[in-house]
Chain A
Amino acid sequence: MSTVVLLTLTGLGLAALYFLVASGLALVFGLADVLNFAHGLFLSVGAYGTWWASGNLPGAGASGWGFVLAVIFGVVCGTVVAALVELVLIRPLYSRTIEQVLVTVGLSLAGVALLQASWGADPRTYPRPQWTQELTEVAGARVPNDRFLLIGAAVIVLAGLLAFLKFTRIGLVIRAGVEDRSMVTALGIDVRRAFTLVFAIGGAAAALAGALGGVYAGSISPTGGSSLLIFGFIVVVIGGMGSVVGAAYAAVAVGLLQQFVNYTSPGLGDICVVALLAIVLLIRPQGITGKVATS
């Protein structure tokens, strides 16, 4: 029983990471049709930004409020990079989808190389606040606190995103744009302005995933973003390509499946996740929800 609880909470923690990566991917893909390979870079920027800040930024540190400040710094870095990428590299290629994907591919290669040039290819030890390493007893299971940190962050981001999409004007434009972009422009709305915002939001969520993923893993490396990114893609496809809520469901399914199967046989869980993807696609090529941002 306690193993089941531990596995469930760890699986949900993993799901939280996947969701943070996938929510931005889903919005960017849903609205702008861009399959964003540079998303893993935003994640790495968040991780390295936090790591750097915890050692160098005045007031920031490896524990307590200092760490919170470091994470904020990392998230801001990821957000700024994502917004810049959209403004400088993606926007000039508006509606040329393949070229946009190619540019993000080039960016992901160059970006990882740049991180390597700056901080080396080897993993760096990541600051882990003491509290995250302590155990909390839940139904007989002793669960490391970082699981709760991840789950809490993802729930807050999910709630915040949904509220943003539901209650703001730009959220309305995004939801409509995910459904039918050209019709939004035909109502006199400059939908490209929403693109930058969606990139920035996605970059922030990915950077948060990077910052918290470092706590979970204990170390970060320049290529760390790309494997999380692949599972992020899988979650986006299963969740219906463009749906935030779909991404949340899919993240939970993928995280739990992976964790439980990997417990019985290491490595098999990852393969089961891809099998799940294949099955979902065979049954419903559109994923589990249609292309509606909040369904």
Chain B
Amino acid sequence: MMTDTAVTPGGTSTPAKRRWHPARFGPLVVLAVLIALPYWSIEIPGVFDTAINKPGTLQLLALCLVFGALATGYDLLFGRTGLLSFGHALYFAAGVYGTDVLITKAGYPLWQAVLFAVVGTATIAAALGAVALRTNGIAFAMVTLAFAQVGAITIGRDPGGVTGGEEGLPMDTAKVPDALVGVTNTVNLYWLAVGVAVITVLVVHAIADAPAGRVLAAIRDDERRVGVLGLDPYRYKLFAFTVAGGLAGLAGAMYALLIGGATPHVAVSDQTLTLLVMVVLGGPGTRWGPLIGGMLFTYLDYRLVSFGRSDAVDSLPGVLSGPLSQPLFVLGTVFILAVYFFPGGLAGLRTRLGPLARWIPDRR
């Protein structure tokens, strides 16, 4: 793996080179573009249906950002700690329903509801993680999956009429600030989603760059050696699990606002599976891979629906047009191919595309 700091024979890195590396500024430029996007009214035919600053497109972009953030938080477990959790949908759903229920049923103001939902989600993650992390590897995967299933069942059963069962629970917009309600205010939700993505990325990168992040990476590479060093892997894993849970709760809160409520499908196990697909497509354990993977997946998932309804697909024979109209069929297939041919995900492509590599930030 290449590093973005040149290492001299003496073993010290050369800061001069680091300062001018485009990777340092690239993210800031992208962020500036994302913030400024609503002020542009360009049309990109074939990519977006409407001009970029129209509510429909902003809504899609915001959704992409939410799932990019969710995937980034999930990668703290999968790519950076090596924990294969199949239950992350639970914490996302806890954020979605927590926020929605606190606003709609308990009448909390938005900010309080979000705060409680995020803290509550992190608490649930800590409690369930404390049990699940007593197991390892595949057993851990199954246990997290089982816990998430309880969440999905509970939401579906509508205990005390709180979750709305199969129907879901539309958010009572009367208690949400006016600036965040209505189609005309989609742009504000979009900016909020940018904020959620930024917070998530900052938290994950801060942890990855901190000493704790190196311990997590060591756990991923060889857990026994961490134990030999006198550190308790369990506590570090629980920390990662709790933080990832809290971040999923935050993404969930944003999702609830964006969609204007909650629907039970956010809790189903396929939700976690798609998260895994996002991270693997983007590049697990890389700085930006999960964010890009999550955004791209969401975009394609949405666009492939209209692609599937397009004339081009309809005119194909039935054997082809049927499957192609199912986004998950296309994405699942792409995913399988990616596992075979691009094990490092999108972020791993750079090693294959030599000269372009400099422009994509480094794997940590």
Residues of A at the B interface (CB closer than 8 Å) are 29, 33, 35, 37, 89, 92-93, 97-99, 101-103, 105-114, 116-118, 223, 226-227, 230, 233-234, 236-237, 241, 266-267, 270-271, 274, 277-278, 281-282, 285
Contact = CB atoms under 8 A, between A and B. Distances in A.
Given A99-B343, A106-B339, A113 B157 contact: no
Contacts of A227: 149
A282 B134 contact: yes
B153 A285 contact: no
Interface size class of B (residues with CB under 8 A): 35 or more
Contact of A109 (B84, B135, B274): B274
B138 interface: yes
Given A267-B153, A271-B154, A281-B143, A110 B138 contact: no
Interface string B133-173: 01100110111011101100110010100000000000000
B332 A267 contact: no
B134 A285 contact: yes
A230 B333 contact: no
B322 interface: yes
Chain B interface helix/strand/loop/mixed: helix
B270 A226 contact: yes
B150 A106 contact: no
A102 B332 CA distance: 10
Interface of B: 84, 131, 134-135, 138-139, 141-143, 145-147, 149-150, 153-154, 157, 159, 268-270, 273-274, 276-277, 280, 322-323, 325-329, 331-333, 335-336, 339-340, 343
A11 to B, nearest CB: 18
Given A35-B138, A98-B84, A266-B157, A233 B146 contact: yes
A238 B268 CA distance: 22
A183 B123 CA distance: 44
A284 to B, nearest CB: 11
A98 B150 CA distance: 25
Contacts of B331: 109-110
Contacts of A241: 138-139
A99 B135 CA distance: 20
9 contacts: A99-B339, A101-B138, A106-B277, A109-B277, A230-B269, A234-B142, A267-B157, A271-B150, A281-B139
A97 B84 CA distance: 12
B77 to A, nearest CB: 13
Contacts, number: 124
Given A102-B276, A105-B273, A281-B131, A237 B142 contact: yes
Contact of B339 (A103, A236, A277): A103
Q: Which 5 A-B pairs have the closest CB atoms?
A: A110-B332, A113-B329, A109-B332, A113-B326, A117-B322
A180 B90 CA distance: 35
A29 B137 CA distance: 12
B163 to A, nearest CB: 12
B276 A105 contact: yes
A65 to B, nearest CB: 32
A277 B134 CA distance: 12
Contact of A274 (B134, B147, B328, B336): B147
Given A101-B141, A114-B329, 10 more contacts: A92-B340, A110-B333, A114-B326, A234-B142, A266-B157, A267-B157, A270-B153, A271-B150, A274-B147, A278-B143
A241 B147 CA distance: 18
Contacts of B326: 113-114, 116-117
Contacts of A282: 131, 134
A83 to B, nearest CB: 18
B322 A118 contact: yes
Nearest to B153: A270
A118 B325 CA distance: 11
Nearest to A105: B273
B142 A107 contact: no
B169 to A, nearest CB: 17
Contact of B335 (A29, A109, A277): A109
B343 A106 contact: no
Nearest to A233: B142
A295 B41 CA distance: 68
Contacts of B328: 109-110, 112-113
Contacts of A107: 332, 336
A89 B157 contact: no
A181 to B, nearest CB: 15
A113 B332 contact: yes
A154 B344 CA distance: 43
Contacts of B153: 267, 270-271
Contacts of B340: 92-93, 103
Given A110-B328, A277-B143, A29 B273 contact: no
B142 A35 contact: yes
A114 B154 contact: no
B138 A29 contact: yes
Contacts of B329: 109-110, 113-114, 117
